Amino acid sequence: MAKKNKPLQTKSKIWIEDTEGNVVFGTGRLRILKAIKQHGSINSAAKALKMGYRAVWARITATEHRLGKKLLIRKSGGSSGGGSQLTPLAENMLSQYENVQKNIEQITDDLFEDALGNSLNIGNRIR
């Protein structure tokens, strides 16, 4: 006896890699930059994301190295505390990545629904 299938939805994920297959930017880096912007420091962002400081720092540093450009303006600690703010490049990457992701998701949803919607009960347009 076959049970009735619930509607399915497609999911897609994009990221940018260098020629060696190393991640340069994707959803994880996006979340990190957003958290740094919101909380004002790598340490506070790491806590908010439930990640270690070194893990967040390593991802940002690796991305900066692979891009050859800075994503953060860092202010050293001391008695007044440190902090980080996003460079104009990082701000642009946030907004543009989200725009591209949204467009790709819509295109992917439409393609899957057109190609397989009836046979697999894909209902992406129901939102």
pLDDT score recorded for residue 126: 46
Q: Do the domain assignments include residue 10?
A: no
Q: Kindly state the tokens that stand for 53.
A: 């400081």
Q: Please indicate, yes or no, if residue 33 is contained in any of the structural domains.
A: yes
Closest CA to 59 of 22, 96, 89: 22
Q: How far apart are CA 31 and CA 45, in angstroms?
A: 9
Q: Residue 30's closest CA among 43, 44, 18, 14?
A: 14
Query: Is 35 inside any structural domain?
Result: yes
d(CA 71, CA 75): 13
Instruction: Report CA 90 to chain centroid distance, whole Å.
Output: 12
Does residue 126 lie in a domain region? no
Q: Tell me, yes or no, whether 2 lies in a domain.
A: no
- Rounded to two decimals, what is the model's pTM? 0.82
Q: What is the CATH number of the domain that holds 103?
A: 1.10.10.10
Q: Report how many domains make up the chain.
A: 1
Domain span at residue 46?
A: 25-119
Q: Which of 99, 77, 93 is nearest to 34 (CA)?
A: 93
Task: Give the per-residue pLDDT at 28.
Answer: 97
Q: Are 84 and 74 in contact (CB under 8 A)?
A: yes
Average pLDDT along the chain, 127 residues, taken 10 residues at a time: 70 91 96 97 96 97 97 79 92 95 89 81 60
